[in-house]
Amino acid sequence: VVPHSHRYWVEKGGRWEFFWISMHGAEALRIHREVLATKGPVFSLRAATVDNLADCAYRLVKGDGSTPARASAISYEAAMALYDDVFELHGNDVAENSVVRQVTDYIGAHLHLPLPVDELARLSGLSRAHFSRVFAAHEGIPPAEFVLNRRLDRAAKLLTMSADLPVKDISGMCGFEDPNYFAKVFRRGFGVSPTEFRTTGMYASAGYQQGQILDR
């Protein structure tokens, strides 16, 4: 059951069994978007996957997730079981998934650099066209858009957590050479200027979580 603008119902005389696992964070959001974009809000899973998910839910209910680390590990296991079933990852798909993860890790560590798509493609060892297709298939958006979202996400954190840093410096740390362009792009993403975002405390206000910028 994926939250969406639709309704579920059981046929007359039918019977349902269902369970819920609530997940938060950028990785859970990424998986949710990829599954939704690929399969839609309603889809079938292999029996083994359903059993795996049910076991994860059971372990959480009986208290195996008694610490944040344990709960996170079980939730991640459930998310990956769902992901593997939906995308049937094996062979070349596994290799491509590893390549994309390598690139996303590189992006996260080098947001202060230009990061053109050509450079990311070289890092992946794929042609630009093939890399762009593989990346979009795994992340749900093109490489350039992914980089921009990550830049804005980091800028939002720095604006909130580093009150003494000038907006101009934050602009450079997030890979924007022109502070005016940074302000324009930031306003387009968040609806306010970087300064307004900082003074109003939007990052910590209701609703904003890491990765939410991907909705914009």
pLDDT in tens, 47-89: 888 888 989 998 998 888 888 888 888 988 888 888 888 877 5
Does position 8 have pLDDT exceeding 60, yes or no?
yes
Look at residues 42, 30, 25, 5 and name the one whose alpha carbon lies nearest to residue 141.
30
Average pLDDT, the chain: 84
- Decide which of 76 and 107 is more confident: 107
For residue 9, tell me if it sits in a domain.
Answer: no
3-state secondary structure of 176: coil
Count of domains forming the chain: 2
Q: What is the pLDDT of residue 212?
A: 43
Same domain, 75 and 96: no
Same domain, 110 and 186: yes
- CA 63, 69, 70: angle at the middle one, nearest 5? 35
pTM: 0.55
The domain boundary, picked from 62, 87, 112, lies at 87
pLDDT tens digits along 110-138: 999 999 999 999 999 988 998 998 899 88
How far does CA 199 lie from the centroid of its chain?
Answer: 27
Same domain, 137 and 155: yes
The DSSP element (H or E) to which 198 belongs, if any, is: helix 194-200
User: What residues make up the domain containing 46?
Assistant: 26-87
Same domain, 130 and 184: yes
The domain boundary, picked from 87, 116, 138, lies at 87
Longest dimension (CA), the chain: 64
Q: How far is CA 171 from CA 18, 87, 186, 199, in A?
A: 47, 37, 10, 17
Same domain, 96 and 69: no
